[in-house]
Chains A and B, each alone.
Chain A
Amino acid sequence: MHELSIAMSIIDMAVDEAERRRVTIDAVHLELGPLSGVVAEALRFSYEIACKGTSLEGSRLVIREVQIEVYCPTCNAQKTLRSMQWFCCPDCGAPTSDIIHGRELVISALEVGDERRTAPVGST
């Protein structure tokens, strides 16, 4: 379980950004690939715990799970992998280890309020 230390890094980075830009953060948007080695569910859980007592307490972690994209040398094109257990082109079946996407562990955006936290509107 290294999700707790990952969650703490996310929070540190977001807190830094928030201070630099003088905003409050309502949500952190994260892109997460299945090959990052981080489990979304464990991360959500850890995030909530790790936020306690920081300026991000009460904020949300919005995770967008990225699919694995590989390059197929036979089709000469980028393809979406069907299964992590089968690294081959979904169309022609050629095996490939050429990974284009799927390792992401990236803060993509911050949902911000201005001077103080505003009540979250809507639900995503």
Chain B
Amino acid sequence: MSAEPRLLEVRKNVLKQNDVVARALRERFRSQGTFVVSLVSSPGAGKTAFLEKTLTLMRQNYRVAALVGDLATENDAIRLARSQAPVKQITTGTLCHLEAVMIDRALDGWDIGQLDFLFIENVGNLVCPSSYDLGENLRLVLLSVTEGEDKPLKYPTIFNSADIAVITKMDLAEAVEFDEESVKANIQAVRPGMRHFAVSAKTGGGIQEYMQFLTDRLAEHAPKHTAARA
């Protein structure tokens, strides 16, 4: 027996399997000209309400669809389906987040090429989803005015993995003495340069600006595709 342990160098990314699937998805979304947005937030922050509003409005001009992850119920899928957009539920069981392979499976039988935007609602959780690339083009972190202004400082990892922030339930801002400047500063502290939108799913306030942002991104993502539609 040797006194020194024998060390074998390996260097293996633990999430490699997920990353490989995510990369293939992203390539597929790119070649088909579909812009994919995922939503993460704490439970109850308002993802489904915001998404329902977005789908309803965007459906008028774009081909949109949604996947929604939930631990157990189909309730969110039922709510989203009210927008008339195609919606599929992904029930995760005990898993507290979505993984790329679940997206891949859920898209089975869907013609992605027929979509301009695909939205993915992740399971309500500000921790676990940060580790898993879903192949999305844009990750949106949602926080509501009732959660406290310091959410970004408490969950820097998820804010860091996201591309934009959306502050929702702005219709309640006054009642809870919400301090938008303070949230803005906290977002910038953990993710300098991150763009944010302030919206209300209830009144629809702020949603136009957010949709304009998405359509601009679609035009960059799939220039020929949108030019042909114009």
Contact = CB atoms under 8 A, between A and B. Distances in A.
Contacts of B128: 1-2, 37
Interface size range on A against B: 35 or more
A85 B10 contact: no
B208 interface: no
Contacts of B7: 29, 109-112
Given A95-B192, A95-B193, A105-B131, A17 B10 contact: yes
Contacts of B192: 87-88, 95-97
B138 to A, nearest CB: 15
What's the dominant secondary structure at chain B's contact region? mixed
A106 interface: yes
B46 to A, nearest CB: 22
Contacts of B193: 95, 97
B139 interface: no
A23 B8 contact: yes
A38 B17 CA distance: 17
A85 B187 CA distance: 9
A88 B188 CA distance: 10
B130 A37 contact: yes
Interface residues of B, number: 37
B190 interface: yes
Interface string B1-41: 11111111111111101000000000000000000000000
A17 B11 CA distance: 11
Nearest to A33: B157
Contacts of B189: 85-87
A84 B9 CA distance: 29
B206 interface: no
A15 interface: no
Contacts of A35: 130, 157, 160-161
A74 interface: no
Given A96-B192, A121-B3, 4 more contacts: A87-B191, A106-B12, A110-B7, A111-B6
13 contacts: A1-B128, A2-B96, A6-B131, A9-B14, A13-B12, A17-B8, A23-B8, A35-B161, A37-B130, A87-B160, A95-B192, A108-B11, A118-B1
Interface of A: 1-2, 5-6, 9-10, 13, 17, 21, 23, 26-27, 29-30, 34-38, 84-88, 95-97, 99, 105-114, 118-122
